[in-house]
Structure 1
Amino acid sequence: MTASTDPAPTSTDAPARPTLRITLTLALMAMIAPFSIDTIFPAFTRIGTEFGADEVALQQLVSGYMAAFAVMSIFHGPISDALGRKLVILAGLGIYVLAAIGATLAPSLEVLILMRVLQGASAGAATIVSRVMVRDMFEGRAAQSLMADIMLIFSVAPALAPIAGGWLLLLGDWRCVFAAIGLYAALVIALTLRLPETLPPEDRIPLRVGSILGALAHAARSFTLWRLALAGAFGFATQFVFIASAPILVTDLLKLGEQDFWVLFVPIIIGMMAGSRVVGHARMTRRTLITVGFAAMVAAALVNLVLVTIGPAPQGGLHWSLLFAAIGPMLIALTVAMQFAPVQLEVLDAFPHERGSASSLATFVQLAMNTLLAGVIAPIATTSLTSFALTALGAALIGNLLWLWHARATAVPAGA
């Protein structure tokens, strides 16, 4: 199956090009799920002290959230294909706010973990469906530019979140972190209420279990979906390995403190911003941009490996030697941003009538990859700066090969 060129079923209330309000609202929707994961990292020590929990128990605050998010991510998109986009987003955000209140007031670690599971189950409604709304409303360069801005926020959120979490701890105990993300979700609800519904009733699938599962099955049977989803997942993993293992990298290997996560994440944010600008102003075709992005990502991962191999060991505290550990992640982030948003549009255009289902499945693949990376691969493969670099390079190479396979399999023959 090749990517479709069918026009988007644009809402009659949507402008011809994205406004600042639409861009901000959709970006904040996309940001909420990844932001919720990493904001609590700096609070782990205080949560453990209050509840007498060890690191294994505290990790359930992350794994429980991610597991619930991954399972429900399969259903948010197809349900929005049946009920419309706004209703699904608002319902998910409402549940998320209630869970944030429960987490803020949690009397035990068990209750806190339960609230985190509820947050994970509901957060994907905004993150996943916001991407679909982009393609509902816009097409061509407008859609690509808006998706790049949204993916920038989505990718920067895990990098920004630990910094914000550390600052929130200066205001009070760990409960301030959960109160803050609850207020954030409430703000997104207020902004979402002002958006138009982007899926007209005549374009919706019937609200029946068979119809929803059938839309999922149609996308799941396609090699196009799996090639693109896995290429995007491995591409993002090239950067996510640094984010998922931030506590190890920042505190153990770079020998920094809980307010020093910015040393790693500010360069990543700069790289993502630069990559997003490249996508928004690129004059090449989408497929060419993706190909260039993947090739540049492999090159950036190689540069990172060289830098950490020849660079001096971190001395503890802020020291010029940290440059050797920060430049590589910044370059990787730039190149990941070049291909991440365009790949998402490739997925949506390949399934013009089941965009919600395709977005859900692609997100599930990425979440499964992130969970595997955070829970299994990262603790084993990130014992040194060199092993970090080798893990990132491996993910970049696999992502690049998957994209080249897809591009070759779906290429239009010359003269056709």
Structure 2
Amino acid sequence: MQADAPALWRHPRWALAALLAGLATIGPFSIDTYIPAFAGIGQALGASPAQMQQTLSAYLFGFALMNLFHGALSDAWGRRPVVLAGLAVFTLASAGCALADSIGMLVACRALQGMSAGAGVVISRAIIRDLCPADEAQRLMSQVTIYFGVAPAIAPVVGGWLFVGFGWRAVFGFLVLVGLLLLAANARWLPESLPPAQRQPFAPRPLMAGYRQLLVHPRFLPLVLASGVPFNGMFLYVLSAPAWLGEHLGLAPTQFFWFFLTTISGIMAGSWTSGRLAGRLPRDRQASLGFVVMGTMAVANLVLNLAWPQAPAWAAIAPVAAYAYGWALTMPVVTLMVIDLVPTRRGMASSLQSCVGSAANGVVAGVLAPLVMHSIQALAWTALGLLGIGLLAWVLLRRLVAR
């Protein structure tokens, strides 16, 4: 935490949480808004389902690639200019998507969207820790997640309305508007939380030294795996929503919002609980509690799909929403653990954490989801396996700490 943090932000804490949550909304808006228009875009551009899936993978891999550098750039040049530059590029890339006349151009602009969207997501975490002590940072991060939770709930609804009413290009026009609004708000209110005296040079040798310092830290990789991979146990169902909700559960596209609404409600409830537990329950115990919830729900989801393949939509959706609650209970705690490993490299630590998580998201989107989305049992097994990777990493971390 910076010594002059109170002077950098004189407004209420909820206002800072709302501003930073706005940066985090870029991700769900970029993904969830255009999912209802998937088939329509493919027909308009003459693209196959596999090619359309690459528009999502390109975004996620672009997000993961640039996440290696967003934090390091903010450690060198300050948080504010990197956030503003990322928002400007994202807005231009969204305009390119709206104007795309081929699937190749759309994939390229989606990749550029992903490369720029991560700036706000990554750097907002470092800003929180720059401005707040540990317990308050957990509360603020939980608030950010609560506000952020609204975006995935409304994004598919907005995307569906825009697609039906105005066509698929209007979906990306909406993202242009989101980018412009966020750029204006952050240009007006976002403080610079990293003093020049604490900045690190963006040069090959010190940059590689910083990456090496994090990668050889015995707790780093277990922490980033524990924070990034379990999310995909839930994200797998978001990616598979057209097949899972439409083919298996028999829901119309206008009914998809029930899944997003219940899942986001789980995230918001878990984030609220995490904020309430800050300073009252040790971080490791809170994270372990979240893993217990996720593990219980992943097993329950598998048993349900094996024993009751024709379960009604509400019964199939409920375990995923409860899983989301457990993930949100864990996420703020583990994220702060990562950022606090090397206090002089908070931006870089957040970058690497997001890079690993985004790479996992890209693999799930480009490889796993297309393979398993047409079987509810395969979806359940895959979700349990993804959680298992994160859970093993967390158990390893606890043993390292115990030593």
Shorter-normalised TM-score: what interval? over 0.9
Letter in 2 for 1:126: G
Question: Structure 1, residues 288-323: CA drift from partner, whole Å, max 9, x if none?
Answer: 100111112111212222333444615xxxxxx212
Change (3 A) 1:16 1:298: farther
CA distance in 2, matches of 1:102, 1:357: 29
Letter in 2 for 1:297: M
CA distance in 2, matches of 1:10, 1:386: 54
Q: 1:67 aligns with which of 61, 66, 91?
A: 61
In the alignment, which residue of structure 2 is the partner of 1:292? 289
Total equivalences in the alignment: 400
1:358 aligns with 2:353: no
In the alignment, which residue of structure 1 is the partner of 2:238? 243
SS at match of 1:223: coil
RMSD: 2.0
Give matches, 1:185-264, under 5 Å. Answer: 185-193=179-187, 194-264=189-259
Give matches, 1:19-30, under 5 Å. Answer: 19-30=13-24
Change (3 A) 1:12 1:395: same
Q: CA deviation at 1:223?
A: 2.5
Q: CA deviation at 1:122?
A: 0.8
Q: After the TM superposition, which of the residue ranges 81-90 and 45-54 deviates more from structure 2?
A: 45-54
CA contact (8 A) 1:82 1:207 kept: yes
Q: What are structure 1's unaligned runs of at least 5 residues?
A: 1-6, 315-320
CA distance in 2, matches of 1:346, 1:8: 18
CA distance in 1, matches of 2:161, 2:206: 46
SS at match of 2:255: coil
CA contact (8 A) 1:9 1:199 kept: no
Q: After the TM superposition, which of the residue ranges 188-197 and 304-313 deviates more from structure 2?
A: 304-313
In the alignment, which residue of structure 2 is the partner of 1:318? none
Q: 2:377 aligns with which of 358, 369, 386?
A: 386
1:125 aligns with 2:125: no
Structure 1 runs (4+) greater than 6 angstroms displaced: none
Which structure has more helix as a fraction of its residues? 2
Letter in 2 for 1:192: N
Question: Structure 1, residues 110-135: CA drift from partner, whole Å, max 9, x if none?
Answer: 22222212111111111111111111
In the alignment, which residue of structure 2 is the partner of 1:96? 90
CA distance in 2, matches of 1:32, 1:188: 9
CA distance in 2, matches of 1:101, 1:405: 45
CA contact (8 A) 2:83 2:123 kept: yes
In the alignment, which residue of structure 2 is the partner of 1:176? 170
TM-score (norm 2): 0.93
Change (3 A) 1:375 1:114: closer
Q: CA deviation at 1:160?
A: 4.4
CA distance in 1, matches of 2:307, 2:107: 42
1:86 aligns with 2:80: yes
Q: CA deviation at 1:340?
A: 1.1
In the alignment, which residue of structure 1 is the partner of 2:300? 303
SS at match of 1:45: helix
Q: 1:140 aligns with which of 134, 138, 151?
A: 134
Q: CA deviation at 1:251?
A: 1.5
CA distance in 1, matches of 2:224, 2:170: 36
Q: After the TM superposition, which of the residue ranges 275-284 and 376-385 deviates more from structure 2?
A: 376-385
Q: After the TM superposition, which of the residue ranges 386-395 and 123-132 deviates more from structure 2?
A: 386-395
CA contact (8 A) 1:297 1:335 kept: yes
CA contact (8 A) 2:2 2:193 kept: no
CA contact (8 A) 1:42 1:166 kept: yes
